[in-house]
Amino acid sequence: MAIEPDTLAVGLTLPQYRVRAKPPAEPHENKIHDEEVARQLGFKAALVPGVNVYAWMTRPVVEALGAEWLERGSFSVRFARPIYYGEEATVTGGVSARTDDSVTIEASALNSAGEVCATATFGLSSGVPVNAPDLSAYPRAPLPAERPPVSRELLAGLSVLGTPELDLDKATALGFLVRFSESLPIYSAASAPAHPAIYLDQANRAVDRNVRVSPWIHVESHGEHLSVARVGERLATRAKIARLWERKGHEFVELDLLLVASGSRPVASIRHTAIYTLRQAA
């Protein structure tokens, strides 16, 4: 149950959430999540996916704002440093702004040393709903039969990316909840809403289902919920490349994505940034 809106005053501190990620049972295609490769690249251990960290950061937000945020909330998350498998992470958050028709929550994810590893801003407004993007501006496209190796030249030549699709059946939805260590009752109710971190997971699939890329790192995501996907629906991720650039030897890509449920209903509009070629792996 969400916190009563009248209690969400500026300065309110939300309950801390502590969680620890277990290494996946199956090998991960992105070798940044592999112990040996991560150490070769200068990390202490295998990195927990940013999608998992984002999932943890949404927990106090959903506890505070409930289904309304899942249906029409906004989010902005940036990952500054890694959290490693096996270490305890702590999510902290609080209300940073409040008006008669909106509330803003700032959250951070800290590693076991107390260092801030990710920051996020979550918003909810009761004002005029965000206009959904035009579906025709985000055409569907087939995924490649064989994924080519990623390169700047290849990505620059792709006007539209192939469209990954996900059947969000009960088993699949439960698998994500297990992966995210998520136990909030809202996700197990009848016609349960999809966990919002699934949207960022599918944004990642818009990258690695179109090109062969490893190791690579999710950097940040910003977006709006336009409706809510529910268990039993089919979720399609329509994507195009918004920007490509190089910084300090890393190659970055920013995707412009629209997630669509059941063929026609916009669910989320997202800008998704990743390093697709790391300096150390070039």
Q: What is the pLDDT of residue 2?
A: 53
Q: Domain 5-127+136-281, what fold?
A: Thiol Ester Dehydrase; Chain A (3.10.129)
- Closest by Cα among 156, 273, 271 to 217: 273
Quote the pLDDT of residue 6.
Answer: 60
Output the pLDDT for position 141: 97
Would you write out the chain's pLDDT as a tens digit for each of its 282 residues? 455 556 789 989 999 999 998 888 778 899 999 999 999 999 999 999 999 999 999 999 999 999 999 999 999 999 999 999 999 999 999 999 999 889 999 999 999 999 999 999 999 998 767 788 999 999 999 999 999 999 999 999 998 999 999 999 999 999 999 999 999 999 997 789 999 999 999 999 999 999 999 999 999 999 999 999 999 999 999 999 999 999 999 999 999 999 999 999 999 999 999 999 998 654
Q: Indicate the domain borders of the chain.
A: 5-127+136-281
pTM: 0.95
CA atoms within 13 A on the CB side of 1: 2
Contacts of 244 (CB under 8 A, 6+ apart): 152, 155, 156, 251, 252, 253, 254
DSSP letter for each residue of the chain: -PPPGGG--TTPBPPPEEEEPPPPSSPPSSGGGSHHHHHHTT-SSPBPPHHHHHHHHHHHHHHHHTHHHHHH-EEEEEE-S--BTTSEEEEEEEEEEE-SSEEEEEEEEE-TTS-EEEEEEEEEESSSPPPPPPGGGS---PPPSSPPBP-HHHHHT-SS----EEE--HHHHHHHHHHTT---GGGTSTTPBPPTHHHHHHHHHHHHTTSB--S-EEEEEEEEE-S--BTT-EEEEEEEEEEEEEETTEEEEEEEEEEEETTTEEEEEEEEEEEEE-GGG-
The pLDDT, as a whole number, for residue 26 is: 77
Longest CA–CA span in the chain (Å) reads 54
